[in-house]
């Protein structure tokens, strides 16, 4: 038999439409994604209210902020699922969207259903199904700065019970930002992706869906500009920066449909091998450079059973397990200027000058490397149940998830320097230094969820409370500082034991409370409204902090407690040939408790997340003759973000800014073309701020982009 579309395309965990769920969500369908020329999840910023994914400089830095909370490094606050398979490493979140059926962004803690790293919500991506679309699609796109995108795909259904598809994607860009020191663009690159999908309905009540993906990224990035005396200097660093990523993934979803319930099995495998190389001081000086090399395998398995919505009582239960094994190296190479100013200067000023005029510490080598190698396996298991009961328009739903995970880290940090302490001596002594050991962390979390909703023909009103958590982990980027401190101590005769306690951080937890509504006040269904009030209480907040002094690393610490409250509203209206979409989000997020050294940031606004997000989009089908076109569509969109505080002191900020985009799409027969533009007013804005060895840096958002797309649909 041919199953309903929702049975194949929709997640078994979520309702088949956002308006039916007691949660806040935004779904963008294929037509809207393609008409707006959305190429990545980042470009859905503000389209979903209080959702913000900035461009931090590369596809590796896929930080996401929702309702004031986010994470610059390590664990994300938002989980991602592609065709129901969870993506286990946020380094893989930033990929090209092509042949996507729709993207759903759910906001608010989703711990009971999705578990770890869904404390801020979930992103569900569904690719195009060969059982619902057949044909060939070819797209060629060219834009300024030699932006090139090529997409080719074939979808076939030889029978009503079997469909298959193959897709390939390629993109290139010269980049937008010039590195003045090196004399070339620093953010160009290429991306290649392949997707193979097969769907089979072997007999009544069965569906088998398998998706295989492979991708390769080779790009520059990190167009960071130094900030001093209220002004931004041009990008100027001397060592090359690059990011490469090769990934393979496979997801197998098997469903069995019975008269009263559905069984589902989702098996996922992911392999990611990536390499990052950066000039970590981002200046023309020879301080130090850094690399990070990861080789990660992960396997996930989930079994879900749920009732069909035919009676007053509904239920859903599931088991989930994962195993992840990451082998990582993160060497830090100190160069001449960095050796002189980060190590020798301090040692000589604070120790060797006391020993007499003939004493001075010096190194033989112009550079040395701190080697940091890690083996980090992690595993976890969870069981959950969710029950619902409907009566007289009311529905009460309660869920509970028990989640356990454990992670260990074997570390081997080492270096070798040759030094002397007498000015007139030519004899250098070899000094090996190492920091070897292991550490572990585990967590057992109980994640409840409760909602009460009232549904009528005009819509629904709901009240909910949900708990979520963000997994703990290890501060691998801190080891270069630890070994540097140990090396300095050995050089000045300080035999202090190295403490590894700071290399572990614990899970972050929160409770999300929502009062919301989904309305369809017109009998035609042409107008849809949603609104949400929310409050979030966060404990053991994971915050990125920097060690004191001219540090080279950064660390995650459970240093704060915070709260966030706000409002979200969205609207979709179709009248004649016009379709109007708008969304607004407001968040007030502040520290309830956060002390860092001598500084007390209690009452300060959380940095990096915007206070407001705004979007408005108008799509108009222009009246044209059939001889000229099947249709001619004008799409105009505007998104706004701000204000964003960049530091805990709230002394640096990005003011509210808006980006204008537009496209004009023509289609006649099998042929089509589109003129498009993004950031049409060439707005200047910043997307990221950080400090490195005492210097301030900003990343600038992409300038004006424009181009033309040609496509053929057979």
Judged by average pLDDT, the poorest of 349-353, 388-392, 462-466, 551-555 is 551-555
| Integer Cα distance of 236 and 239 in angstroms | 10
pLDDT tens digit sequence for 365-393: 899 999 999 999 999 999 999 999 999 99
H or E stretch covering 683? none
Q: pLDDT exceeding 70 applies to what percent of the chain?
A: 96
| Integer Cα distance of 577 and 581 in angstroms | 13
The mean per-residue pLDDT over the stretch 39-62 comes to 91
Rounded to two decimals, the pTM is 0.93
pLDDT tens digit sequence for 263-296: 999 999 999 999 999 998 999 999 999 999 999 9
Task: Look at the chain and report how many structural domains it folds into.
Answer: 1
pLDDT tens digit sequence for 123-176: 999 999 999 999 999 999 999 999 999 999 999 999 999 999 999 999 999 999
In this predicted structure, what is the pLDDT of residue 699?
93
In terms of Cβ atoms closer than 10 Å to its own Cβ (0-12, 13-18, 19+), residue 236 is middle
Q: pLDDT exceeding 90 applies to what percent of the chain?
A: 73
Average predicted confidence (pLDDT) for the chain = 91
In this predicted structure, what is the pLDDT of residue 10?
56
Q: 4 pLDDT exceeds 50?
A: no
How sure is the predictor about 554, in pLDDT bands with cuts at 50, 70 and 90? low
In this predicted structure, what is the pLDDT of residue 73?
77
In terms of Cβ atoms closer than 10 Å to its own Cβ (0-12, 13-18, 19+), residue 106 is buried
How sure is the predictor about 552, in pLDDT bands with cuts at 50, 70 and 90? low
In this predicted structure, what is the pLDDT of residue 221?
85
In this predicted structure, what is the pLDDT of residue 546?
63
Instruction: Residue 599: give its domain's CATH number.
Output: 2.40.170.20
In this predicted structure, what is the pLDDT of residue 17?
79
Smallest CA-to-CA distance from 544 within 559, 531, 529 is with: 559
Q: 395 pLDDT exceeds 70?
A: yes
pLDDT tens digit sequence for 292-317: 999 999 999 999 999 987 789 999 99
In this predicted structure, what is the pLDDT of residue 499?
66
The mean per-residue pLDDT over the stretch 630-658 comes to 94
| Integer Cα distance of 86 and 92 in angstroms | 11
How sure is the predictor about 3, in pLDDT bands with cuts at 50, 70 and 90? very low
How sure is the predictor about 355, in pLDDT bands with cuts at 50, 70 and 90? confident
Residue 279 main-chain phi, psi, to 5 deg: -85, 95
Smallest CA-to-CA distance from 9 within 351, 283, 294, 255 is with: 255
pLDDT tens digit sequence for 480-501: 888 888 888 888 876 556 667 7
Domain that holds residue 697: 5-713
In this predicted structure, what is the pLDDT of residue 198?
96
The whole-angstrom distance between residue 457's C-alpha and the CA centroid of its chain comes to 37
């Amino acid at each position: 038999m041919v199953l309903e579309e929702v049975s194949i395309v929709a997640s078994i965990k979520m309702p088949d439409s956002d308006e039916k769920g007691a949660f806040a969500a935004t779904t963008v369908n294929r037509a809207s994604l393609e008409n707006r020329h959305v190429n990545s999840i980042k470009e859905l910023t503000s389209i979903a209210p209080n959702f913000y994914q900035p461009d931090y400089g590369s596809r590796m830095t896929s930080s996401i902020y929702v309702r004031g909370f986010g994470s610059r490094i390590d664990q994300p606050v938002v989980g991602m699922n592609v065709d129901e398979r969870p993506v286990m490493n946020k380094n893989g979140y930033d990929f090209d969207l092509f042949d996507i059926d729709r993207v759903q962004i759910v906001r608010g803690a989703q711990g009971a259903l999705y578990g770890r790293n869904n404390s801020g919500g979930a992103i569900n991506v569904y690719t195009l199904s060969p059982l619902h679309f057949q044909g060939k699609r070819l797209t060629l796109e060219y834009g300024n700065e030699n932006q090139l995108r090529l997409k080719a795909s074939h979808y076939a259904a030889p029978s009503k019970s079997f469909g298959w598809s193959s897709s390939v994607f390629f993109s290139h860009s010269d980049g937008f930002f010039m590195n003045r020191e090196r004399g070339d663009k620093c953010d160009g690159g290429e991306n290649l992706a392949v997707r193979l999908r097969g769907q089979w309905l072997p007999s009544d009540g069965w569906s088998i869906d398998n998706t295989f993906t492979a991708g390769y990224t080779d790009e520059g990035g990190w167009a960071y500009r130094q900030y001093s005396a209220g002004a931004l200097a041009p990008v100027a660093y001397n060592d090359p920066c690059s990011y490469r990523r090769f990934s393979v993934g496979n997801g197998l979803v098997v469903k069995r449909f019975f008269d009263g319930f559905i069984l589902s099995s989702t098996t996922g495998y992911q392999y990611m091998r990536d390499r990052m190389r950066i000039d970590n001081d981002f200046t023309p000086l020879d301080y130090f450079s850094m690399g990070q090399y990861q080789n990660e395998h992960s396997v996930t398995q989930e079994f879900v059973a749920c009732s069909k919505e035919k009676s007053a009582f509904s239920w859903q239960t599931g088991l989930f397990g994962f195993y992840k094994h990451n082998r990582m190296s993160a060497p830090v190479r100190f160069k001449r200027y960095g050796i002189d100013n980060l190590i020798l200067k301090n040692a000589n000023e604070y120790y060797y000058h006391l020993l007499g005029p003939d004493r001075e510490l010096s190194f033989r080598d112009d550079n040395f490397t701190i080697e940091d190698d890690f083996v980090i396996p992690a595993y976890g298991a969870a069981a959950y149940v969710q029950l619902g009961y409907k009566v007289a328009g009311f529905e009460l739903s309660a869920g509970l998830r028990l989640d356990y995970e454990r992670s260990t880290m074997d570390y081997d940090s080492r270096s070798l320097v040759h030094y002397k302490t007498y000015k007139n001596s030519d004899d250098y002594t070899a000094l090996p230094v190492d920091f070897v050991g292991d550490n572990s962390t585990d967590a057992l979390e109980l994640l409840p969820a409760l909602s009460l909703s009232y549904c009528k023909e005009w819509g629904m009103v709901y009240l909910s409370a949900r708990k979520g958590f963000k997994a703990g982990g290890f501060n691998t980027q801190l080891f270069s500082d630890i070994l540097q401190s140990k090396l300095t101590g050995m050089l000045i005769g300080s035999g202090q034991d190295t403490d590894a306690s700071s290399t572990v951080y614990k899970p972050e937890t929160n409770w999300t409370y929502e009062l919301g509504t989904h309305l369809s006040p017109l009998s035609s269904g042409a107008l849809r409204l949603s609104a949400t009030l929310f409050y979030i209480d966060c404990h053991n907040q994971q915050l990125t902090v920097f060690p004191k002094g001219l540090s080279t690393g950064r660390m995650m610490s459970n240093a704060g407690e915070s709260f966030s409250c706000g409002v979200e509203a969205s609207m979709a209206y179709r009248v004649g040939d016009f379709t109007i979409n708008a969304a607004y989000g407001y968040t007030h997020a502040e520290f309830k408790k956060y002390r860092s050294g001598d500084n007390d940031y209690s009452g300060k606004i959380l940095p990096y997340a915007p206070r407001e997000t705004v979007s408005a989009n108008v799509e108009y089908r222009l009246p044209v003759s059939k001889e000229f076109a099947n249709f001619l569509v004008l799409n105009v969109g505007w998104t706004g973000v701000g204000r964003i505080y960049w530091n805990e002191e709230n002394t640096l900020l990005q003011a509210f800014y808006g980006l204008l985009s537009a496209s004009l799409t023509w289609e006649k027969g099998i042929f089509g073309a589109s003129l498009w533009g993004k950031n049409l007013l060439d707005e200047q804005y910043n997307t990221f701020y950080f400090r490195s060895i005492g210097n301030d840096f900003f990343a600038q958002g992409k300038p004006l982009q424009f181009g033309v797309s040609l496509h053929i649909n057979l």
